[in-house]
Chains A and B, each alone.
Chain A
Amino acid sequence: MKVASSFTRWFAVVLFGLLLGGAVQAQGNLEVNTPAIATLKQSMQQRHARLAPLYASGAVGLAADGSVALRDAGSVPLAQRGQVNGLIAAENADRAALYREIARANGHPEWESDVRRTFAQRWIDRAQPGWWVQKSGAWVRK
């Protein structure tokens, strides 16, 4: 009898723990506050000051895969084209690292492509009017 009651109590504790776990999961917050993610955000934020005019001119657009792409090379003077390509490459490297880091910070590296897809959609949805975004393969001006 004594054994049974101690197990009943133990079982209740386990059930309570499961409920608690379910509640935490229901709140559903993704861990994004790691030093690596903070560094990437900072670097992207600083680069944005130089990318924003390129988004506005249509030279650079937001691609469907969560990256940025040179959309209209003709609108960039030849002398600056290398610099713009460098900006795009650096931005895409940061973005790839960001998606990877978010998946890793949450203990699921295999979520990277899901994170990328989510970001791709949100970058495009939240792009400012006049910016170019890629929708089902075609470039569209918002």
Chain B
Amino acid sequence: MNAASRFLLVSALAVSVTACVTINIYFPAAAAEKAADRIIDEVWQLRDAAPDAPAAPAAADAQGETK
């Protein structure tokens, strides 16, 4: 029982350590693209300077002032 639980502990540790390494080792291309777009929006001022609400100003522009 002791050996079994030790095996469980070691394998769980091994799994969590390798998972931590592999999870972040690949470049997140889609996330980078989103981040790039946000920064380009700001640098080129393609949308109103509202970094917290990127979609809202564009929608508001399209809608105009209609009520």
Interface, chain A (partner B; CB < 8 A) = 1, 3-4, 7, 10-11, 14, 17-18, 21-22, 25, 28-30, 32, 37, 41, 44-45, 48, 98, 102, 107-108, 111, 114-115, 118-119, 121-123, 126
Contact indicator B36/A119 (Cβ below 8 Å):
yes
A interface, over-half SS? helix
In this complex, what residue of A is CB-closest to B9? Answer: A7
A7 surroundings in chain B (CB, below 8 A) = 5, 8-9
Does B43 contact A44, Cβ atoms closer than 8 Å?
A: yes
State whether A30 touches B42 (Cβ < 8 A): no
A41-B43 CB under 8 A given contacts A3-B5, A7-B5: yes
Q: Is B23's beta carbon under 8 Å from chain A?
A: yes
Q: A21-B23, A48-B45, A122-B40 are in contact. Are A14 and B12 (CB under 8 A)?
A: yes
